[in-house]
């Protein structure tokens, strides 16, 4: 599903975020990428989502090299990806339901089926009863669950999450981690960048240290 082949990423003015990183992740796997702040975890996720381009090496997602992907090919990739980024970018003037509907509305999904999918996604993250609420009325854990619902509403084969349990208390973090495990058990390939790998006991762990894989 994912292959990094000697991938390096250097940001201007010369910060090496990742150095000759190689690893593979099979379809259906759950993988945790752990490491200290600045180790390169977010960069790894951004390269998979083609938000950033590698300086050298190849990033393959589903057999396609996404490093040199033309802008016109990005929607094809993004449709297969569910992204939960650190900055969730929830729409605070729209309801919970509308936030989750947005990715489907953008792709012109038929409204009736879209409504069913939104309700199914909200149900999976335990927010079915809150669909009319505004995000501001939700707790931090609920906002994170809303971001997950929005990421999975397109039923992606691959779910990527960057520090999805940051800023949550231990009980809420465990609850959010359980949701990722449930998607994994339902067949979704799940990759999570987190400093707290212990929350994901079912996952294989890749450890990064200053952009290098720790053997």
From 21-29, 36-44, 131-139, 169-177, span contacting ligand ATP (CB under 6 A): 36-44
Interface with ligand ATP includes 19 (CB under 6 A)? no
Q: Which two tokens stand for residue 16?
A: 């090496």
Interface with ligand ATP includes 82 (CB under 6 A)? no
Interface with ligand ATP includes 214 (CB under 6 A)? no
CA separation for the pair 168, 43 (Å, rounded): 22
From 32-40, 74-82, 104-112, 115-123, span contacting ligand ATP (CB under 6 A): 32-40
Contact between 34 and 68 under an 8 Å Cβ cutoff? The reply is: no
32 DSSP β-pair partners: 192, 205
Which of 2, 7, 19, 42 is the binder for ligand ATP (CB under 6 A)?
42
Which of 41, 124, 130, 145 is the binder for ligand ATP (CB under 6 A)?
41
The smaller minimum CB distance to ligand ATP, of residues 11 and 76, is found at 11
Interface with ligand ATP includes 35 (CB under 6 A)? yes
Which of 30, 31, 39, 148 is the binder for ligand ATP (CB under 6 A)?
39
Which of 40, 57, 135, 197 is the binder for ligand ATP (CB under 6 A)?
40
Which of 24, 26, 27, 38 is the binder for ligand ATP (CB under 6 A)?
38
Interface with ligand ATP includes 15 (CB under 6 A)? yes
* Interaction site with ligand ATP (CB under 6 A): 11, 15, 17, 35, 37-43
């Amino acid at each position: 599903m994912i292959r990094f082949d000697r991938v390096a990423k250097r940001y201007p003015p010369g910060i090496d975020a990742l150095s000759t990183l190689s690893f593979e992740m099979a379809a259906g796997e759950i993988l945790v990428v752990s490491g200290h702040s600045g180790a390169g975890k977010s960069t790894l996720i951004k390269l998979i989502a083609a938000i950033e381009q590698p300086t050298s090496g190849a990033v393959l997602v589903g057999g396609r090299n996404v490093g040199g992907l033309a802008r016109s090919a990005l929607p094809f990739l993004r449709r297969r990806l569910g992204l939960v980024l650190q900055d969730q970018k929830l729409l605070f003037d729209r309801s919970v339901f509308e936030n989750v509907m947005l990715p489907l509305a953008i792709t012109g999904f038929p409204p009736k089926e879209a409504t069913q999918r939104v309700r199914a996604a909200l149900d999976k993250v335990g927010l079915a009863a809150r669909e009319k609420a505004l995000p501001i009325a939700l707790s931090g854990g609920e906002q994170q669950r809303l971001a997950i619902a929005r990421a999975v509403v397109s039923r992606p084969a691959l779910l990527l999450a960057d520090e999805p349990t940051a800023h949550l208390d231990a009980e809420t973090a465990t609850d959010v981690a359980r949701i990722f495990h449930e998607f994994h058990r339902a067949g979704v390939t799940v990759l999570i960048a987190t400093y707290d790998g212990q929350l994901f006991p079912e996952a294989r762990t890749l450890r990064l240290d200053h952009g290098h894989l720790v053997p």
